[in-house]
A = this chain, B = another copy of it.
């Protein structure tokens, strides 16, 4: 059973979601952002997690999509906060409508995400919603740390990794844990799958940081070097700053946090220092560490090896992706 089997189930489920009708200014933006596409990784992880333990996937579609609706809610609100003009190459909701519409549509998306869990078997519902709520709050915490870091002069690598864990990884972990619980797994297996997902999430975000600097502009889809131009404190920059010799430190300080008009020169100069310090291979090594740790947790899950294959495959795709 390949990934497209599960992806097709999700696509069909997505088209059947009903967010609401009136007023259109509230509900149209939800249909818009949900229709912009994306890889639907989170609900895919939930289905694949459940499929380790059950063939009865239909009751799991709606709760699986809850994490997708929640994820898109966070994108909608994050885009307001980041004043982002584009999302998946299209105007963001606050650009196409306005910030007020984006705030309120996002709010109702969070409500709809909770509603998608309510058909879960009553005996599982409190645990599922407790874990979802904890995860949702953590994602908000991650976003707040991310915003804090923009104006903080000293951010440690540990703090950065904790931020991306909260902002990105815990939701991937929850998506898998959810699938496991709904599929009828033991708590131990659900915990292993959550850790698998969290590791994959950390590796995924580090891969994103790497692609920003070393990606191919044609396939990456975003402007290469955007993080460097905006002085974003990524794992790459923080590692370079920590390991730079005095000359490299001075060169970095000429560009980072300074008003720079020639952004192409800035990207080139910072990347040159990254190259000198072998930042790329260090980042790849950390990605691989998380990836191996993820696989280790997957191995320990008590489920047939062939059922684990789609999960291993998806994780590999996420690690090796070029966009």
Answer whether residue A271 sits at the interface, using C-beta atoms and an 8 A cutoff.
no
Bound complex: CA of A20 vs CA of B145, how far in Å? 14
Tell me the bound Cα distance from A119 to B22 in angstroms.
33
- How many protomers of this protein does the assembly include? 2
Contact B77 A20 (CB under 8 A): no
CA distance A25 to B80 in the complex (A): 17
Q: How far is the CB of A110 from chain B (nearest CB, A)?
A: 6
A122 and B126 within 8 A (CB): yes
A39 touches B (CB below 8 Å): no
Least CB distance from A67 to B in Å reads 14
Q: List 9 A-B contacts (CB under 8 A).
A: A26-B140, A100-B147, A101-B144, A107-B107, A107-B140, A111-B136, A111-B140, A125-B126, A129-B129
CA distance A144 to B25 in the complex (A): 7
Taking a contact as CB atoms under 8 Å apart, the answer to whether A103 and B77 are in contact is: yes
Q: Are B108 and A25 in contact (CB under 8 A)?
A: no
Check B148 against A133 for contact (C-beta < 8 Å): no
Shortest Cβ distance from residue A103 to the other chain B in the assembled complex, whole angstroms: 6
Q: Does A250 contact B (CB under 8 A)?
A: no
Give the residue name and chain of the B residue nearest to A117 (CB): B129
**Beyond A25-B148, A108-B140, 9 extra complex contacts between A and B, CB < 8 Å:** A26-B141, A26-B144, A104-B147, A107-B107, A111-B136, A112-B137, A114-B129, A114-B133, A125-B125
Chain B neighbourhood of A110, CB < 8 A: 107, 110-111
Q: Which residues of A contact B (CB under 8 A)?
A: 20, 22-23, 25-26, 77, 80-81, 99-101, 103-104, 106-108, 110-112, 114-115, 118, 122-123, 125-126, 129-130, 133, 136-137, 140-141, 143-145, 147-148
Contacts of A100 in B (CB 8 A): 80-81, 147
Q: Report yes or no: B77 in contact with A137, Cβ–Cβ below 8 A.
A: no
- Taking CB atoms, residues of chain B closer than 8 Å to A129 are 114-115, 118, 129
Report chain B residues within 8 Å CB of A136: 108, 111
A108 and chain B: residue at smallest CB distance:
B140
User: Is B126 in contact with A123, judged by CB distance below 8 angstroms?
Assistant: no
- How many Å lie between the Cα of A140 and that of B23 in the bound state? 10
Tell me, in angstroms, the Cα distance from A25 to B99 when the chains sit together. Answer: 21
A301 to B299 CA separation, bound complex (whole angstroms): 59
Closest to A26 in B: B144
Cβ contact of A103, chosen from B80, B114, B148, cutoff 8 A: B80
Enumerate chain B residues within 8 angstroms of A126, measured Cβ to Cβ: 118, 122, 125
Q: Knowing A80-B103, A144-B23, say if A137 contacts B111 (CB, 8 Å).
A: yes
Q: Which residue of B lies closest to A126 (CB)?
A: B118
